[in-house]
Amino acid sequence: MFSFAQSTVVVTSDSGDATGAVIFSGVYLFFWLVVALIAIIAYWKIFTKAGEAGWKSIIPFYNIYTLLKIIGRPGWWLLLFFVPFVNFVISLVVAIDLAKSFGKSDVFGVVALWLFSLVGFLMLGFGSAEYKGPSAAPAAQK
């Protein structure tokens, strides 16, 4: 004959843990909303410096398409952002071309615009950089 012992599981809940989790989640969400707002402002400023309407920077996918036009790359490059691993290379090329379009060096494109995007976009948008024209256009005509 088999006998099964009944076991009792006692679950205790400390309301302090739940409150801490909610507070952390709220602070985390607030932090990322502030980062997103700063990125939108920086992108808006870059677009207006390049002669595009600032509102184009807040429309998903259209902002990338417009950015490709600003740097002189064809619009179909937008599709390359959806290809895994290729999108890393394309984003690097776009960052370098954006830096060149504003008269900055390749190093600025890689370090500031690709690795530390938020800081780089703020520097480009609110700094003394002026839009020189699409950097990729002369390379495409060769």
Q: What are the pLDDT digits (tens) for 45-85?
A: 999 999 999 999 999 999 999 999 999 999 999 999 999 99
Lowest mean pLDDT among 10-14, 58-62, 123-127, 135-139: 10-14
**Confidence (pLDDT) at 19:** 84
CB atoms within 10 A of CB 73: 23
Q: pTM (2 decimals)?
A: 0.78
Return d(Cα 13, Cα 20) in angstroms, integer.
13
97 exposed, middle or buried (CB, 10 Å; 0-12, 13-18, 19+)? buried
Work out the average pLDDT over 25-50: 94
Q: Distance (Å, rounded) from C-alpha 37 to C-alpha 26?
A: 16
CB neighbour class for 130 (10 Å; exposed up to 12, middle 13-18, buried from 19): exposed
Query: What are the residue boundaries of the structural domains of the chain, listed by start?
Result: 15-141
pLDDT at 37 over 80: yes
